[in-house]
Structure 1
């Protein structure tokens, strides 16, 4: 059993709103794409849902959809030290939070992979840990990349809530790491839809 340190901050983990590739069920990976109209509506809704949460800084992945989401979110979150002035939270881009590099899979329909590569698709459902797209990045390598950045953010947070905007499937990896859960079904975690969770890290 892994015990959580009493000094570890909670994490507000936000998936960006959808892009056109998400709307179409395509793999976008680390491609830089703006929010779609659906995505902007999702972000406005989630921003209202979390507006009661005090937050100094929103950390975000560098892709456009994540940055757009973080900027909208920051206008609804208030710095607890300056609440009397209605000061919005700051936004800081963290390169290590960039999404999983899907290599030659970028732009492919998830259903296309399911039809043309059924064995690979099943591996993604059952044992996604060692999957590595041609010319891309394995999930295990992505975890190593993001873990150092997460530990640094949590350490410097001084017990405050840490707000992070990360696209799927990297958000799926991060949530499993923070919650001490095992990974399953990569394909279900492949598209963004403007969701959020508050996590108590087990670290």
Structure 2
């Protein structure tokens, strides 16, 4: 009888780990510990301005999709302003590479039996895109490059974190392939004039 109570108490304590403070969980199988989901993997970017990477596919995919969409749309926006060759080449590379990473993630999600919703920009991304579109000349280029630096830092943390700690093997593999490409984009950004 004593052993039963010890096991029952242990199970209750373990189950309560998923509950958020002040909130009872009727179904612990669907509870998600947001801290664990957003914890950065050891050895990865530890920048407080970069959101922690999710480890659950249903959190990772929308963020990755929105990131790619922002890179593509902001690059189209700067191309419409006829920037110099270096920025034009960078923007075209972003369109091509992020279109490819979106396709890679969709294929990995499909292989894992997951449905991917169409990507949607978050409010911050939309505001940055609007700022690029409304700026002119050198201000547009500066706004674009600043947004690219921030977006790529976030994307690198996202993909590295998911590659290290994600819950879906097919997506972990895709994230591991995408992370070095994002790092290459960061390196390209550092070489652009005004960077």
The TM-score with structure 2 as length reference comes to 0.29
Greater gyration radius: 2
Larger helix proportion of the pair: 2
The TM-score with structure 1 as length reference comes to 0.28
Larger strand proportion of the pair: 1
